[in-house]
Amino acid sequence: MLFIVPFILFACSGGNNNGDSGATLQSISIYSPNSLLHLNTSEQVIATGIYSNGTTQNITTSVTWSSSNSSALSVSNASNNQGVVSAITAGSNILIAKVFKYNL
């Protein structure tokens, strides 16, 4: 029997600066190769920051990742493993990336 864990991507930002440019983070885009994972599989998701000056930057290692249903889908915040999602059990989920603790 094949089980899959669907998940929705959701991002929040809190005005993080893009280096010395003075640009502020306006939104976060999350990319996943798949929106469905087979049980007991993992994949890397990527968070891209979109800044007020129009630039983008990979911020995968700068966000705090969380899952709305961590019993079905875990997401790592461990060093060198940030943004790796793993399907544990069947169920739906929302994957969240936050910068600081502020939501837009």
pLDDT at 95: 83
Give tens-digit pLDDT for 47-104.
Answer: 898 888 999 999 999 899 998 888 988 999 999 999 999 999 888 888 888 876 444 4
Do 9 and 66 form a contact (C-beta atoms < 8 A)?
Answer: no
Q: What string of H, E and C letters represents the secondary structure of 26-87?
A: EEEEEECCCCEEECCCEEECEEEEEECCCCEEECCCCCEEEECCCCCEEECCCCCCCCEEEE
pLDDT at 78: 95
Give tens-digit pLDDT for 16-59.
Answer: 555 556 788 888 888 888 878 888 999 999 989 888 899 999 99
Fold of 4-98: Immunoglobulin-like (2.60.40)
pLDDT at 19: 54
Query: What pTM, to 2 d.p., does this model score?
Result: 0.76
